[in-house]
A and B are shown apart, each in its own frame.
Chain A
Amino acid sequence: MSKRVMTVDDSATVRQVLQMTLEAAGYEVLEAVDGADALNKLTTETVDMMVTDLNMPNMDGISLIKEVRQNPGNRFMPIVMLTTESQPEKKQEGKAAGASGWIVKPFKPEQLLAVVRMVCPT
């Protein structure tokens, strides 16, 4: 059974790039448009890992990671955050909240896959 990845980003473009790349590599993708939407979907769905943007309306990425880690079922789920070069301090903040790794935007599909495979091989 293929691994299921939840992608969380308010930008439809980013979501589409994530979806195309991950699906081509054999992952199943579940999308959410912001932190609140992601949390809501997680109440009914289970995923193997999560890729989330940080700067989003309704609930930002850091709060989302903290919330997700509250749920015992998701305590060990790999969570990769999307950061930009202009916010290196966010990496530390995200790691403290419980993120497993990060991907710097803009990224190339192969960079995304290298990271995703490292934390959640197919």
Chain B
Amino acid sequence: MVNRPGSQISRRNFAGMCIGAAAAGASGFDSVSQVRGAQSSSSPIANAVIDQNPIRRRGTGFRALDASRASPGLTLFSPIEGDGMVYPSISRGRSTTPGRCLTRLASTAT
């Protein structure tokens, strides 16, 4: 069983957030931060619940993007700790909503 990021962001939001990040440029990258709890620039750090996973704590999703120089296309990957899903990532520098194939694959995952 994979620990999907749905505990923090839903699958739909994940895609949407990536699109948002891409559209907003570098300033949008905060939106994909995986720091748990209420931590933000306006919250007292002392009150935050700190994610104990060091990779996730540094942030997931898009971390940088120059769409004009990216090779057009769709990126596919299967997280090793996944449950058989194959995820799409980025098309022309934008994140895409999981396509029909990928949605169906997800629905058949065990």
A and B are interacting partners: no
